[in-house]
Amino acid sequence: MLYEPYQIKNLVLKNRVVMPPMCMYSANTLGFANDFHFVHYATRAIGGVGLIIQEATATLPNGRISVNDLGIWSDDHIAGLKKIVDGIHSNGSVAGIQINHAGRKAKVERPIGPSAVSYSDDYQLPAEMTLEEIEEVVLSFKEAARRADQAGYDLLEIHGAHGYLIFQFLSPISNLRTDKYKDGKVFLKEVVEAIVEVWPKEKVLALRVSGTEYVEGGVTPVTISEAINSVKDLGIDIIDVSSGGNVLVKINAFPGYQLELAKQVSELTGLPVMGGGLITDLRLADHAVASKKCDLVYLGRLLLRDPYVVINQASEMGVVIPYPVQYLRGKKA
């Protein structure tokens, strides 16, 4: 089933494999894409990945995880991003982008967050966001969505996972506010409402979440699904289910460790889901789809070390798919 097409709205993926967003910290300090990004993403498209979601791309300079994050806070970024999109499209894949504000996890002079609570001793204490700052960030997501559309992306993923700003609002561990934003769903809703004003209805809108924080008092599959349900009718098409990232805690990770979470979130929200985690064998990915744990499977680190795993493992699994003609003489017998 992994190699069967998947349709969502008018978007057809040629298979169920997703390259999830993975920060490469390789942009210049102004957030511009360069040759590394053009080659990196086009290579995974040549390698047969159905959907490629570009790494967390910052909606504001103070929302960067590092000074080398890709940026989408200026119209000047659009041309470089369009080149990434074109490289993905011309090699037969579908292009997504994850937009992010890192909040208290931003490595900047003055990080901001819902409350003055730091992530760990290695991170600065964030300033509690003023209402003006909240408004500015919400607007930055809207502007980022408009630019992503102009650059030609087929799918927009809102980063609501891993302890970045949206998740910081959703978690009772990082959100100690007493105003209306004490309910983190209010901030999420404002972000989604702003985005759908400009992100075309016919294109796909995804939301990435952490389905659990692995600690008492943190977000659970039930509470995160409530948050999803509070915005899904605004136009969320699919949920990308991950976990952790808001609290320093040891995670017991094993091949497919987040698949059950994906299934739970799908059952509680009625939305299609992407799932994965430590998958190194496409037979496990195939089983995840066949056993309805998730609709799409992401392969992160596997695709970093082996961009051609999708086309190469196909024949081992008895699946016939087109092989890049340029590489036919290198195909395993």
Ligand X SMILES: Cc1cc2nc3c(=O)[nH]c(=O)nc-3n(C[C@H](O)[C@H](O)[C@H](O)COP(=O)(O)O)c2cc1C
Positions that interact with ligand X (CB under 6 A): 20-23, 55-56, 98, 159, 161-162, 208, 242, 276-279, 299-302
Closest CA to 41 of 3, 2, 93: 93
Q: Where are the beta strands (DSSP E) in 45-170?
A: 51-58, 70-71, 94-100, 112-113, 127-128, 155-160
Q: Which is nearer to ligand X, 123 or 323 (CB)?
A: 123
Q: Which is nearer to ligand X, 55 or 295 (CB)?
A: 55
Q: Which is nearer to ligand X, 29 or 90 (CB)?
A: 29
Q: Which is nearer to ligand X, 108 or 180 (CB)?
A: 108
At 19, which helix (H) or strand (E)? strand 17-19
Name the closest residue to ligand X (Cβ): 300
User: Do 6 and 12 contact (CB within 8 A), yes or no?
Assistant: yes
- What is each CA distance from 266 to 240, 262, 274, 275, 318, in whole angstroms? 10, 6, 9, 10, 30
Q: Which is nearer to ligand X, 294 or 302 (CB)?
A: 302
Residue 71: phi and psi, rounded to 5, are -120, 155
Q: Which is nearer to ligand X, 58 or 112 (CB)?
A: 58
Q: At closest approach, how far in Å is the CB of 180 from ligand X?
A: 27
Residue 304: count other Cβ atoms within 10 Å of its Cβ. 13
Q: At closest approach, how far in Å is the CB of 19 from ligand X?
A: 9
Burial call 208-226: b when 16+ CB within 10 Å, e when fewer: bbbbbbbeeebbebebbbe
d(CA 326, CA 278): 30
d(CA 5, CA 27): 33
d(CA 199, CA 191): 12
Q: Which is nearer to ligand X, 98 or 264 (CB)?
A: 98
d(CA 166, CA 315): 41
Q: Which is nearer to ligand X, 83 or 162 (CB)?
A: 162
d(CA 64, CA 70): 8
Amino acid making up residue 261 = L
